[in-house]
Amino acid sequence: MKTIQEIQADIVDEFSVFTDWMDKYEYLIDLGKSMPLIDEKDKTESNLIRGCQSRVWLSCREEGGRLYFAADSDAIITKGIISLLLKVYDGQTPEDILAADEGFIEQIGLKENLSPTRANGLVSMIQTIKAHAAAWRGSKPQPETPAAPKTDLESDIILALRQVYDPEIPVNIYDLGLIYDIQADADGQVFIRMTLTAPNCPIADDVVAQVREAVSDVPGVKDVQVDLVFEPEWTTDRMSEEAKLELGML
């Protein structure tokens, strides 16, 4: 079996043949399709990686002193990112995983081409993999996961918002970047500030009503207030990588 350093060097070489990031995204997507997927029964709350914009599940088992991972995500780019990490760490010893650095990520330009939230998710994935390694090295069955920057309620709200689609562009409103702010308190009071792609949208009220209904159905939500604004003006820069990819903009 190759060492972590050898695998990282191979990845740098593989990425060096691509001339633009569209090709690199396609490579990541292909990696995601071929990685060992987590068993459906293991898609549990405890296996969710905290701090990721999308849901990412990661399981870990030890065999013969080495750690073997399986994962899945509900977003194609995120699935590709975690598969890239598993390509490096799957089948390695806890000691080697903990000793490894992630310089190859900078070399292939991955982090700089991710949105800030997705870059934070990448860090959370690495932290969780290393937390598993630290736990197994200490003979503990379960690692401590990194602290979540969002509450579970906020994460569930985001999942609900991803079920609401823009009336003109076939992308959900969250990945489209139409949600400017989400605030949820411990009493289940939720405030959402959002916009639309155009201020003269004839069904603006219907979209707001869909948002209010979707979020109201989230367990733990007691009341939802939606503030529709048009400043700052929405631009395509607010779209996620998945949305841009789906619309052929990458």
Q: Point out the residues that are catalytic.
A: 52
Non-local (6+) Cβ contacts of 17 within 8 A are none
Residue 19 contacts residue 112 (beta carbons within 8 Å): no
**Hey, is 198 helix, strand or coil?**
coil
The stretches of the chain forming alpha helices (DSSP H) are 4-16, 21-34, 76-89, 94-99, 103-107, 116-137, 152-161, 204-216, 241-246
Structure tokens at 92: 């390695």
Alpha-carbon torsion angle 125, 128, 134, 139, nearest 10: -130
Tokens 């709350």 sit at which residue? 45
What value, to the nearest 5°, has the Cα angle with vertex 37 and ends 97 and 19?
A: 70
From residue 20, give the alpha-carbon distance in Å to each of 16, 79, 109, 245.
Answer: 10, 20, 11, 14
* Continuous H helices in 138-191: 152-161
